[in-house]
Structure 1
Amino acid sequence: MSRPEPLISVIIPTYNYAHLLPRALNSVFQQMAEDVELIVVNDGSRDNTGEVLAAYQRQQIQGFRVEHQVNAGAAAARNSGIRLARGRFALLLDADDELLPGALSCLREVLAHNPEAGLVLGAQVSVYPDGRERIRLPTPVTNTHSPCELTRRYLLEKKISISHCCTLFRRDLLLQRPYPESLRTGEDVPVFAYLLVNALVVTTARPLARIHKHSDSLRHNREDEEVVAQRMVREVFAGLPHECQQLRRQYEAQRYLSLFRAAVLGGDREAAKRFYWHALELHPYQALRWSYLRKALRLLGRGTRNRR
């Protein structure tokens, strides 16, 4: 007898996380049910991820599937899992994180009370390298806000936070707006922005996942940084309605200010100056915020002293 169509598809993209993957897998297997499926996409791992997955496959766990692909990045792995999934909703769990006990039951209950939900934001437990833990509650989202206001609050004011592992997505919306595979970092931002303005958002204060923070984040990679920033802006606004396009220059300025900050930290004065002036041209209000202006004045001051 075939299994019924699942309600929730848990999708785990993984690359070289064989040593941590069992923790993520076990956190899902402990709460598997007939309306849950688990799909792991092995994105061309070079460690023993394949062996770890083969050992689980030999257990013939119902609802568990593995897909192996040539390394193509996190966005491509997530898209593969979403296309393979059968559930109405998808939860994308990172291979180095874990679901908390009862997370899927909680989501099932939330959906029972909010059948039209397109995005469910839950709380999370952030775990830091030194062992500290902090509970982060989801940001309340008022669905009466206009798409423009929601976009502003998410992209510019950082008042809405969305994270994988503690967020449930309606899968058809993810199929409408796949993760941009041209981005190797920050690929979630265009997707989250799209869903935020196209879905009914509900929240739960119940912590759904433990998210482990690492110091070796790809976000510190400055290779082709300006090209990546421009691509990010294009991808984000390609999926947003016309009324949101008025925010594009301000968001682009913010991306350049992020490049400016990274260049300052990296000691690259010339790049820092160029990034700051470009941000100033794009959106003076954004660039003249004191946190950025202070760094720019300090940078210019050092340049004047050096010329003397």
Structure 2
Amino acid sequence: MQKVVSERADNEGGAPLISVVVPAYNYARLLPRALDSVLAQLDSSSELLVVDDGSVDNTAEVLENYAQLHPELRVMHQANAGAAAARNHGIRRARGTYVLLLDADDALCDGALAELRRLVYSQPDAGMVLGAQVSVYPDGKERLRLPTPVPEGSPQELARSYLLEKRISISHCCSLFRRDLLLRCPYPEQLRTGEDIPVFTHLLVSAPVLITPLPLARIYKHADSQRHCRDNEETNALGMVEAVFAVLPAECQRLRQRYTAQRYLSLFRQAQQAGDVVQARCFYSRALHLSPWQALRWSYLRKRLRLSLES
């Protein structure tokens, strides 16, 4: 594997090492910030692709203007199909050995691509690089978030740490992924939210992970209405379980019931926050039936006890 990837990483043949893919939907006013942050770092070992996901603002105009000034920019348009479909489109069209998926409203930190090149050249069989990020809040405050360590372990141990114990944090923009692994596990386009979890789990158990304390991206925080949308929430949660375990090896399948309970616990928390007491109780009961081990963790049990006292 190392020899194959090393040969791909040698861009003398024309193939870039890193492809930065930016899915864009109705972010015309913020898109220049993301594009400028990447274009300032591009060299012959990297490329920039933007997938316009059927935007109805002036995103197409912004991209046309940038493409005229920067012929190295590759622009693709598709009918609106969601972030997962836009990411998959960009990954398929990318030419790099590695892919960085940058949200259109965020930006790369200076030196990010140079640091990523250094790391993957040092360990060409890596499947993923996790870096630090700078979270930027609406009030202008900033917070540096360092990547969580990824311990050595079996696929089952890694999956348990990520899915059940939440000891490993993975996010777009400040992570680099090996493209061949992304092609084996595309983003599930049928999921409304959480479509990144099956992909991240697959990457985590498939190849070594590198960590850098350097900030790779500035993540701009803002309200996300989809995150709080509860339409068909149980169907989506169970669909996420299906997508996650469809890509995991046999030894990880024993975690499925506990992870299903974990998804119900997430639904329980969301229902409680929304003040839906009846549904919150229902979701907690299902989690408890599936896995008392998960449901009786103090962070959830405390919320359930509080719900009983308040009702």
TM-score normalised by structure 1 residue count: 0.94
- 1:54 maps to which of 61, 64, 67: 64
AA paired with 2:76?
A: E
Question: Is the 8 Å Cα contact of residues 123 and 204 (structure 1) preserved in structure 2?
Answer: yes
Deviation at 1:60, TM superposition (A): 4.0
Which deviations, in whole Å up to 9, do the C-alpha atoms of 1:269-306 show, x marking residues without a partner?
21111111101100012112222223223333444xxx
Deviates more, 1:284-293 or 1:164-173: 284-293
Distance across 2 between alignment mates of 1:240 and 1:187: 15
2:52 is the counterpart of 1:42 = yes
Deviates more, 1:3-12 or 1:22-31: 3-12
Distance across 1 between alignment mates of 2:308 and 2:281: 8
The aligned residue for residue 203 of structure 2 is 195
1:137-216 equivalences under 5 Å are: 137-142=146-151, 144-216=152-224
Q: Which runs of 5+ in 2 are unaligned?
A: 1-11
Name the SS of the counterpart of 1:65 in structure 2.
strand
Deviation at 1:213, TM superposition (A): 1.3
Q: Which runs of 5+ in 1 are unaligned?
A: 304-308
Name the SS of the counterpart of 2:88 in structure 1.
helix
The aligned residue for residue 111 of structure 1 is 120
Distance across 1 between alignment mates of 2:147 and 2:176: 12
Distance across 2 between alignment mates of 1:288 and 1:32: 50
Distance across 2 between alignment mates of 1:13 and 1:164: 11
Distance across 2 between alignment mates of 1:237 and 1:217: 27
State the percentage of identical aligned residues: 64
The aligned residue for residue 110 of structure 2 is 101
State the Cα RMSD in Å: 1.4
Deviates more, 1:269-278 or 1:287-296: 287-296
The aligned residue for residue 18 of structure 1 is 28
Deviation at 1:113, TM superposition (A): 1.1
Name the SS of the counterpart of 1:47 in structure 2.
coil
- 2:83 maps to which of 67, 74, 80: 74
Distance across 2 between alignment mates of 1:89 and 1:293: 42
Question: Is the 8 Å Cα contact of residues 75 and 184 (structure 1) preserved in structure 2?
Answer: no
Distance across 2 between alignment mates of 1:302 and 1:202: 46
Distance across 2 between alignment mates of 1:297 and 1:140: 33
Distance across 2 between alignment mates of 1:185 and 1:294: 26
1:211-290 equivalences under 5 Å are: 211-290=219-298
- 1:84 maps to which of 76, 79, 93: 93
Distance across 2 between alignment mates of 1:88 and 1:217: 34
- 1:295 maps to which of 294, 303, 310: 303
AA paired with 1:76?
A: A
Question: Is the 8 Å Cα contact of residues 123 and 206 (structure 1) preserved in structure 2?
Answer: yes
Distance across 1 between alignment mates of 2:147 and 2:266: 24
Matched residue count: 300
Name the SS of the counterpart of 1:55 in structure 2.
helix
Deviation at 1:105, TM superposition (A): 0.7
Distance across 2 between alignment mates of 1:209 and 1:268: 37
Distance across 1 between alignment mates of 2:240 and 2:135: 26
Distance across 1 between alignment mates of 2:191 and 2:69: 36
Which deviations, in whole Å up to 9, do the C-alpha atoms of 1:140-161 show, x marking residues without a partner?
223x301111001111111111
2:12 is the counterpart of 1:6 = no
